[in-house]
A = this chain, B = another copy of it.
Amino acid sequence: MEQDDRQPKGTEETPLETAAEVEAALEDLRNEIDAVDETIVGLLARRQKVVGRVVALKKRHNLPVYHPAREEDLISKRRQQSAASDLDPDFVEDLYRTIIRRSRVEQASSMARKSVRPGATVLIVGGEGRMGRYFRDCFSEAGYAVRSLDQNDWPDVDRLCGGIDLAILSVPIDRTEAIAARLGPHLPPDAVLSDMTSLKAAPLAAMTAAHAGPVVGLHPLFGPTTSTLDKQIVVAAPGRDPAACQWVLDQFVSWGAIIVTADAREHDDIMDIVQALRHFATFAFGRFLRQKGVRLSRSLEFSSPIYRLELGMVGRLFAQDTALYCEIILASPRRRALLKDYIASMNENLEMVEKGDKDRFHDEFRKIADWFGPFSDQAMRESTYLINKLIERF
């Protein structure tokens, strides 16, 4: 593998004295680029200040941060200007999506300090857990009085529940129902009872049974490492008296989150797939990589960005909270039945693999591709965009 006999490129065409001149000419051009860049960054700083004034104004007058029409108008103006200036409009749009999101996140984080229910008190049950602490911080920063009730605080439950406007259960899935039942009798009748569990039907039933007041089940589709709620999804499953629960949803919206309302049963059906199946499949894949002793870092040197992305998805799972994923994956008998079906379905491939049956593979592949339909092309577009981002950055 001797490949060091490569000739320095261009030695024939470029005698040494010219090389120094070329370097000087390049240096001049680089200085010119640096000057342009310095002006651009200066303008970004100025832009940020103007955005700060927009935020102050919106905050004073309770106007929403997210203004899709304004964002599209801004992008469209820059695209037109790009086309007229011989710049690729997609490139400029790409930059402006980053700039706009940044400005939205800054606005949202400033708005976060605004409470939609000034003076209200929030009790986080399980406030010492990672999600519990996350939401304690959110509510505190928004100006709510926040209390925490943990395992050892039950003797004090009546004092902790006194006068609260909202109780949120942020506890492991398998304890949510029992804790709802235990907490219910101590709640003020008009307090909203809510939870953060990744299942909704059983916890919602337990909450409405334990508390006669307003109830709404929530499932935030993000973890405690999320730096901003901007455009993050929170599923809301109505329990009782939605009007009385609305301010809680409004608070999440003011933090930038998107509320998706769903029936608890539909939510659970979808989460069986979105969470349990997907995480289990990832777990099983990671388990096999370990069994085979795959050399991860060498495999990355050899690999397309898409493999890096996919392996990253597997690695990501194992950087997270074991207990949480254990609960999510094995949460309910229905989930476990789904995972059994998945294992059974995996076995149906065995004969095809053993025989190297290409006709059958071909046939199955086409059927699945047809079923995915236009989603495949969308997936191709989005993942290609991200692959390019990965190449840019790493």
A152 at the interface (CB under 8 A from B): no
Q: Whole-angstrom distance from the CB of A263 to the nearest CB of chain B?
A: 8
Q: Are B380 and A346 in contact (CB under 8 A)?
A: no
* Nearest chain B residue, comparing its CB with the CB of A385: B393
A30 at the interface (CB under 8 A from B): yes
Chain B residues, CB < 8 A from A39: 43
Which of B44, B318, B382 is the one whose CB lies under 8 Å from A390? B382
12 contacts between A and B (CB under 8 A): A1-B238, A10-B63, A37-B78, A95-B95, A270-B298, A311-B379, A315-B372, A315-B375, A318-B376, A325-B365, A330-B353, A389-B389
Which of B100, B233, B313, B326 is the one whose CB lies under 8 Å from A365? B326
Q: Whole-angstrom distance from the CB of A262 to the nearest CB of chain B?
A: 7
Q: Are A386 and B384 in contact (CB under 8 A)?
A: no
Chain B residues, CB < 8 A from A178: none
Q: Are B62 and A9 in contact (CB under 8 A)?
A: yes
Q: Are B383 and A309 in contact (CB under 8 A)?
A: yes
Which residues of chain A (221-275) have a CB below 8 Å from chain B?
Answer: 221-222, 225, 230-233, 235, 238, 242-243, 246, 249-250, 260-262, 267, 270-271, 273-274
Q: Are B64 and A362 in contact (CB under 8 A)?
A: no
Chain B residues, CB < 8 A from A43: 36, 39-40, 43
Instruction: Contacts A37-B47, A74-B34, A85-B41 given; indicate if A231 touches B25 (C-beta within 8 A).
Output: no
Q: How far is the CA of A330 from the CA of B360 in the complex (A)?
A: 11
Instruction: Contacts A369-B318, A386-B390 given; indicate if A221 touches B312 (C-beta within 8 A).
Output: no
A322 at the interface (CB under 8 A from B): yes
Q: How far is the CA of A318 from the CA of B376 in the complex (A)?
A: 6
Q: Are A250 and B369 in contact (CB under 8 A)?
A: no
Instruction: Contacts A222-B304, A354-B340 given; indicate if A391 touches B231 (C-beta within 8 A).
Output: yes
Instruction: Contacts A33-B50, A42-B85, A45-B85 given; indicate if A273 touches B299 (C-beta within 8 A).
Output: yes
A339 at the interface (CB under 8 A from B): yes
Q: How far is the CA of A233 from the CA of B273 in the complex (A)?
A: 34
Number of interface residues of A (CB under 8 A): 177
* Nearest chain B residue, comparing its CB with the CB of A301: B260
Closest 6 A-B residue pairs measured CB to CB? A10-B62, A315-B379, A319-B376, A45-B85, A318-B369, A312-B379
Which of B32, B315, B364 is the one whose CB lies under 8 Å from A287? B364
Q: Are A378 and B306 in contact (CB under 8 A)?
A: no
Q: How far is the CA of A48 from the CA of B87 in the complex (A)?
A: 8
Q: Are B375 and A296 in contact (CB under 8 A)?
A: yes
Q: Are B62 and A379 in contact (CB under 8 A)?
A: no
Q: How far is the CA of A263 from the CA of B211 in the complex (A)?
A: 68
Q: Are A326 and B242 in contact (CB under 8 A)?
A: no
A316 at the interface (CB under 8 A from B): yes
Which of B3, B10, B329 is the one whose CB lies under 8 Å from A361? B329
Chain B residues, CB < 8 A from A327: 358
Q: Are B313 and A313 in contact (CB under 8 A)?
A: yes
A356 at the interface (CB under 8 A from B): yes
Q: How far is the CA of A99 from the CA of B44 in the complex (A)?
A: 14
Chain B residues, CB < 8 A from A124: none
A159 at the interface (CB under 8 A from B): no
Which residues of chain A (88-120) have a CB below 8 Å from chain B?
Answer: 88, 91-92, 94-102
Q: How far is the CA of A289 from the CA of B369 in the complex (A)?
A: 11
Q: How far is the CA of A243 from the CA of B2 in the complex (A)?
A: 8
Instruction: Contacts A5-B246, A29-B50, A325-B365 given; indicate if A319 touches B95 (C-beta within 8 A).
Output: no
